A and B are shown apart, each in its own frame.
Chain A
């Protein structure tokens, strides 16, 4: 993993995203998340089965990507919908996109800037893809442990 050590100033930047991810899982799923790693990166990492992507525009520009494997996505779907999907289908796409939307929206609110706008979420299935962030984006990787397995939240902002 190509990472850059966090200096004290830089270490504050992921805070709204850590808090928003925890808030979404706590409120919607009653789950407390452990933060297992935080680092500044040089490139996109997500090795997960399904990823939700949402863009920021306005005074902050960039993207947020939440990634998780199938069993985690299925367990979250079961918690929220009352039944477990058998494969990655439109409903799982929708769920992961909505998680990206809520985490992005909540982070935006925590940043306290009314001039940040969120796009509509997009979902990617499969591990063989890459996202190239704008070269002047500051890219971060947050790794969380949920009660159902690991997830990641990556974001690149300018």
Chain B
């Protein structure tokens, strides 16, 4: 399973990758913003995309829209501080499959990842 992790915080990417490793996912590609993420997305196939919302250059919502415009149905989980209902609706309308609000407990992220990681 190959996962793309997009977040402008290197620390947050590491926290997410530790959780991915804990559920057995080691094939992970990182990107620091939506533009870099979309370049990676176009360069290779992914089974899951995890993305932040607030990032410089190209934000998570624009990144998700870019992915869906390609016709891809890859599961996309947004992991963000944007927790208001109106924001969640915007993200779902853009094509987000799942949503996790920061701060999150490790167990919450792992429970979300379990849905996408094959046993």
Contact = CB atoms under 8 A, between A and B. Distances in A.
A81 B103 contact: no
Main secondary structure of the interface of B (DSSP, over half): loop
A114 B101 CA distance: 15
A97 interface: yes
Interface string A100-114: 011011101100101
Interface of B: 8-12, 14-15, 18, 54, 56, 80-84, 86-87, 101-105
Contacts of B81: 101-102, 104-106, 108-109, 118
Contacts of B56: 120
Interface of A: 23-24, 26-28, 77, 80-82, 90-91, 94-95, 97-98, 101-102, 104-106, 108-109, 112, 114, 118, 120
Contacts of B15: 28, 80-81
A108 B18 CA distance: 28
A98 B54 CA distance: 11
Contacts of B82: 105
